Amino acid sequence: MLNSVNQIRVELQEIASAHLQINDFFWGDFLRAYKENTELNYVLMGCFYPTASLLNNQTQLTLTIYICDRVYKDYSNLNDVESDTLQICRDVYNVINSSFRWKRIGRVQGATCQKFIERGGDEVAGHTLTIQFLLRDKSGICELPMQGYDFDQPVVVPSECDPAELVILDTDGGTLYSLSLLSGSTNNQTIQNSTWTLQNTVPFTLLTGSILAEGSATITAPDSKYNLENTEGTFLFGGSIPSGDNATIIAPDGTAQIKHSQGGTIANVLVPSGATELYTVADSDIEVNGNYEFSIHATHTYDIRLKDQSNNTITPTSITANPNHADIVINMAAPVGATLMKTGQTVSTNANDDGDLEMGRLTNFTTLASNNPFGNNNRFTSKVGTQVYTDSVVIDWSTYNGSTVLAYYHGDATTRAWTTQLAQHLTSTFDSLTGWYLFNIYQAMNIMNFDFPSSYLYNYAPFNLTRRYMWVSTNQTGSNGISTETGGPNPFTISNKANALWGIWVRECSVNGTIIT
């Protein structure tokens, strides 16, 4: 055999040595490579041939080449290993199929590639390249390395020589076609013309044609045409660019017309092509009855809320909008007073009783229907909006009329006669508030919570009073006065003015934002 398997082994080993990504080579299957080598350097290239077919003047080998690399236990590098080993298989195939030194050994009939994972001592993955390779063998029977054996062969005359094999290659080493020539015969072969395709960089085919074998041709690419459009697809202008040349295309400037909702133009702005132009629309002035009051941002929605001084929402009779002003008509009937307060009673014993209907102002006894100036809906707060009460001073926001509010002071537990309690704190200061008056019968009823039977001021915050009877400033003609019974069955009783009872004092405070004075 003029060309042997050993030649193939040597050539493959040289390929492995020359390839920059291959670090080790083994002739044999992977199991032998692993058992016979204590340390394998990956990337590993291994080769063997499991089968061979003997043909006339040729030996067909099933050449098996595996390219593998080690993978991590969590397979996080598996994709990289498979991609790299497949590319190396392609490199090896290109050399075997196209190089002249391999064509002198034989030729490739076909090839397949299949990936694998080997979970042995070394966990590896890669690809197996299987090539059907025809090994050239032109030796005759008389050239066998045998002595003393009579082959009993007839004398071969020159006209009976073995057929010759003709292979026509292109300049890149690729096989165009091949055939066998009988000994002594003549065969004319015509080299096929080459075809060419001219594409742009997209790629898009511009022209196609053919070139005579061994000939040459000059291919002229056509000029390119361009159309300049805006983002809406409207054509601006067009032109052409010579093939292989560059051109600078200057788009025209644009004009931005800024209009308001009524169609009037606010401004015309020249915008250079490809640029971004920032334009700020001025704020709009808000006037009340022709007098400037404030401004709002252009295009922003402004919510005009109509409230009375007690923060109650006013529903206008009508609103008429015009381009530059709006007429808001409000019913100006004079208010005659606020809605009565809820009593606080929520427990019902009969249908339509107070606990069932809960008629009156407030959401519930301690919750306002709208926010107080501190932004919460607590009825009772301290002077600074919390529910930590300094000097036992409580602000009752149910009495707020938009400018004043009532404060209650309940920190004096001393019992005194009625006339003494009336004047007791006229000049006293509690929580920076000076001048307090004994509360009257309505001011007392305003803070009585009737949800607590027989203890209207006795068991609920923020008062939590621990004494039962106290004076109110409302007088009964004669020697008797009126007192409250905070923990008894009757909210008010008649007492002798000389009796020693305690009291709660009130003060009307001015409100400016969240400042109470």
Which one is predicted more confidently, 403 or 286? Answer: 403
Q: 1: pLDDT confidence band, cut at 50, 70 and 90?
A: very low
Is the pLDDT reported for residue 395 higher than 70? yes
Q: What is the pLDDT of residue 460?
A: 78
pLDDT at 65 > cutoff 80: yes
Rounded to the nearest integer, the mean pLDDT of the chain is: 83
Range scoring the smallest mean pLDDT among 187-196, 208-217, 308-317, 469-478: 308-317
Whether residue 384 is predicted with pLDDT greater than 50 in this model: the reply is yes
Bridge partners, 286 (sequence order): 294
Q: Which helix (H) or strand (E) holds 418?
A: helix 418-423
> Could you read off the pLDDT of 112-140 as tens digits, one per residue?
999 999 887 779 999 999 999 998 876 66
pLDDT at 153: 67
Report the pLDDT value the prediction gives residue 185, as an integer from 0 to 100: 66
Cα torsion angle, 80, 86, 89, 90, sign: negative
Going by pLDDT thresholds of 50, 70 and 90, the confidence category of residue 200 is confident
Instruction: Label residue 162 by pLDDT band (50, 70, 90).
Output: low
Confidence class of residue 142 from pLDDT cuts 50, 70 and 90? low
Residue 125 forms beta bridges with which residues?
69, 117
Distance between CA 470 and CA 439 in Å, rounded? 10
- Span 362-516 CATH architecture: Roll (3.10)
Confidence class of residue 295 from pLDDT cuts 50, 70 and 90?
Answer: confident
Q: What is the pLDDT of residue 375?
A: 93
Q: Would you state the CATH architecture of domain 5-141?
A: 2-Layer Sandwich (3.30)
Among 474, 470, 469, CA closest to 441: 474
Domain edges within the chain: 5-141, 362-516
Q: How confident is the model at residue 334 (pLDDT cuts 50, 70, 90)?
A: very low
Q: What is the pLDDT of residues 10-23, one digit of tens each?
A: 999 999 999 999 99
- Answer yes or no: is pLDDT of 155 > 60: no
Strand (E) or helix (H) holding 89: helix 78-98
- Between strands 433-434 and 429-430, the pairing is antiparallel
Indicate whether 347 pLDDT > 50: yes
Under the banding of pLDDT at 50, 70 and 90, the label for residue 165 is confident
- Over the stretch 216-232, which tens digit does the pLDDT of each residue have? 778 877 887 878 788 77
The secondary structure of 339-405, three-state, reads: CCECCCCCCCCCCCCHHHHCCCECCECCECCCCCCCCCCECEECCCCCCCCHHHEEEEHHHCCCCEE
Q: Is the pLDDT of residue 422 over 90?
A: yes
The Cα 443–Cα 209 span in angstroms is 107
* Predicted local confidence at residue 156, as pLDDT: 53
d(CA 358, CA 352): 9
Do the first three CATH levels of 5-141 and 362-516 match, i.e. the same topology? no
Measured in whole angstroms, the distance separating CA 429 from the mean position of its chain's CA atoms is 59
How many percent of the chain have pLDDT more than 70? 87
